[in-house]
């Protein structure tokens, strides 16, 4: 992009994206599963094993408004749903192949936007409330059904389901728009940042002639800030992806120790510059982990970078890798520093978004407070967990786990399940 035009492009793009984030018109209502309108005749799937109860319900529902398809079991209901054309489901909670919690579990397999209303006896109202919490639209107590309540409940359930779907679609749309906007802004920010980096390094690399030590020092500070800005842009993008669900993690069999070594090698010179030693204590014969290698590198980089930031000169940061003694299907990576530690009231907050722990030993190195939040998300999405232990005054110990990946006898890979 030509010089000077980026600011304009940014403004234009921000304008368009805002229009997407806050739609001026309410999006058109989503069509129902079967394309019915509120006044159309509805097809209701009645899942009820008691013939007398079933007959009563069929008779209660006005025939000009409702067509009832009756099946006696969850298995039959699944088959019938597969054929399509069902607008709503009336589900008895005590069936031969599903009682209470089983039936509630089954409702999760119902096609989206098909509301479920459960039928209970007086005694199992607790389970009915449990059903509501797992997405069932409403519940009715058998024996209290009359010609008004049943049709109205079904109509309302259908309406609520459609509204929910609409809200959900809107939310997804907003997240996508935000993702797109940030991706664009990030691109536009990187272009001038790139030029600053390129020209600074032309000078620091001596290509434009020899430098005095003072000039080298000043430009070095400039470069360090360029790197910081680059990290911030990446972190912002990453957080948007985490929230929008577009973050991709691709686990594969990965040796952990070499990844740790790479991270330490890349951070060692800046750590040594402030007098902090970096060391690794690997365990021999450690199995491979089932983890995305780039993500693993990102997590370790975040933790080590953070540890260095809060460790004064003369201190030490050690990364150890070993099998998790409590959960042997996991490998535990621990980053221990000799920094000032974290106050007890902050220990639970360090993984929160935008949390800033003040008093780093290097005050020029403020970040966005996103590194640990991103690390936590990346760890949990790969089945592991992350935590911190700290003694104020003597240092912190950040640890995370990743699942072990070992070849089975049959040559296939298996890996530990989540905690």
Partner 1 sequence: MGKSAPGRKRILIVDDDDDARYAMNVRLRASGFETVYATDGVSAVKMARLTQPDLILLDLGLPAGDGFLVMERLRAFPDLACTPVIVVSARDPRVNETRALAMGALGFFEKPADNGELLDAARHAIALADARDTSTSH
Query: What residues make contact with partner 1 under the rule CB under 8 A?
Result: 1-3, 183, 186-188, 190-195, 197-199, 201-202, 205, 207, 226, 230, 237, 241, 248
Shortest approach of partner 1 to residue 250 CB, angstroms? Answer: 11
H-only helix segments in 310-390:
344-347, 371-381
**Using CA atoms, how far apart are residues 78 and 209, in angstroms rounded to an integer?**
77
Neighbours of 227 (CB within 10 A): 12
Shortest distance in whole angstroms from residue 333 CB to partner 1 = 24
Q: Which is nearer to partner 1, 134 or 183 (CB)?
A: 183
Q: How far is the CB of 383 from partner 1 (least distance, A)?
A: 21
| Cβ nearer to partner 1, comparing 187 with 274 | 187
Closer by beta carbon to partner 1, 58 or else 200: 200
| Rounded least distance, CB 251 to partner 1, Å | 16
CB of 199 to partner 1, least distance (A): 5
d(CA 114, CA 33): 7
The Cα–Cα gap between 93 and 139 comes to 10
**For residue 232, how far is the Cα from the chain centroid?**
19
- With H, G, I as helix, E, B as strand and everything else as coil, classify residue 49: coil
| DSSP β-ladder status, 413-415 and 386-391 | unpaired
Cβ–Cβ < 8 Å for 67, 110: no
Measured from the CB atom, is 134 or 199 closer to partner 1? 199
CB distance 101 to 127 below 8 Å: yes
Interhelix angle 256-273/293-309, nearest 10 degrees: 30
Which of residues 158 and 182 has its CB atom nearest to partner 1 in the complex?
182
Please name which of 319, 257, 329 lies closest in space to residue 293, comparing C-alpha atoms: 257
> Which among 389, 367, 293, 286 has a CA at the least distance from the CA of 332?
286
Nearer to partner 1, 237 or 280 (CB): 237
Q: How far is the CB of 262 from partner 1 (least distance, A)?
A: 13
> Least distance to partner 1 from the beta carbon of 194, Å?
4
Whose Cβ is closer to partner 1: residue 1's or residue 216's?
1
193 vs 255 by CB, closer to partner 1: 193
Q: How far apart are the first and last CA of the chain?
A: 49
Q: Tokens representing 273?
A: 């510059």
Report, in this order, helix, strand and coil percent for the chain, each rounded to 5. Answer: 45, 20, 35
State the residue for tokens 């221990």.
Answer: 336
Angle at 401 between CA 395 and CA 407, to 5 degrees: 145
Query: Is 2 or 358 the residue whose CB approaches partner 1 more closely?
Result: 2
Beta bridge partners of 46: 70, 90
Smallest gap from Cβ 139 to partner 1, in A, equals 44
For the bound state, the minimum distance from the C-beta of residue 67 to partner 1, rounded and expressed in Å, comes to 47
Q: Which two tokens stand for residue 347?
A: 């220990």
């Amino acid at each position: 992009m030509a010089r000077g035009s980026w600011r304009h492009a940014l403004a234009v793009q921000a304008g368009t994206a805002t229009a997407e984030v806050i739609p001026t018109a309410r999006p058109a209502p989503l069509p129902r599963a079967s394309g019915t309108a509120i006044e159309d005749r509805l097809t209701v799937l009645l899942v009820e094993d008691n013939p007398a109860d079933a007959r009563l319900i069929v008779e209660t529902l006005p025939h000009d408004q409702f067509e009832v398809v009756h099946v006696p079991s969850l298995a039959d209901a699944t088959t019938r749903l597969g054929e399509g054309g069902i607008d709503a489901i009336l589900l008895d909670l005590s069936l031969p192949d599903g009682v209470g919690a089983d039936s509630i579990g089954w409702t999760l397999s119902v096609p989206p936007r098909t509301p479920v209303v459960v039928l209970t006896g007086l005694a199992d109202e607790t389970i009915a409330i449990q059903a509501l919490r797992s997405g069932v639209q409403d519940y009715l107590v058998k024996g209290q059904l009359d010609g008004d309540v049943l049709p109205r409940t079904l109509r309302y359930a259908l309406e609520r389901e459609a509204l929910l779907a609409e809200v959900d679609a809107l939310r997804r749309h907003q997240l996508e728009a935000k993702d797109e906007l940030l991706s664009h802004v990030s691109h536009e920010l990187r272009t001038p940042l790139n030029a600053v980096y390129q020209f600074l390094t032309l000078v620091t690399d001596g290509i434009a002639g020899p430098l005095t030590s003072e000039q080298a020092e000043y430009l070095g500070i400039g470069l360090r800030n360029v790197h910081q800005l680059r990290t911030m842009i990446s972190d912002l993008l990453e957080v948007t992806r985490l929230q929008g669900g577009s973050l991709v993690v691709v686990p594969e069999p990965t040796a952990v120790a070499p990844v740790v070594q790479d991270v330490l090698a890349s951070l060692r010179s800046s750590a040594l510059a402030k007098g902090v030693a970096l060391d690794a204590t690997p365990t021999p014969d450690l199995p491979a982990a089932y983890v995305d290698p780039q993500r693993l590198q990102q997590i370790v980089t975040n933790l080590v970078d953070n540890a260095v930031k809060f460790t004064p000169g003369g201190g030490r940061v050690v990364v150890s890798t070993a099998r998790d003694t409590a959960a042997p299907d996991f490998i535990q990576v621990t980053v221990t520093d000799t920094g000032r530690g974290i106050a007890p009231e902050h220990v639970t907050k360090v993984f929160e978004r935008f949390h800033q722990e003040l008093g780093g030993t290097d005050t020029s190195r403020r970040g966005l407070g996103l590194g640990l939040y991103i690390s936590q998300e990346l760890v949990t999405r790969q089945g592991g967990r992350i935590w911190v232990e700290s003694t104020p005054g003597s240092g912190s110990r950040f640890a995370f786990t990743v699942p072990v990946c070992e070849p089975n006898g049959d040559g296939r890979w298996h890996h530990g399940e989540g905690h």
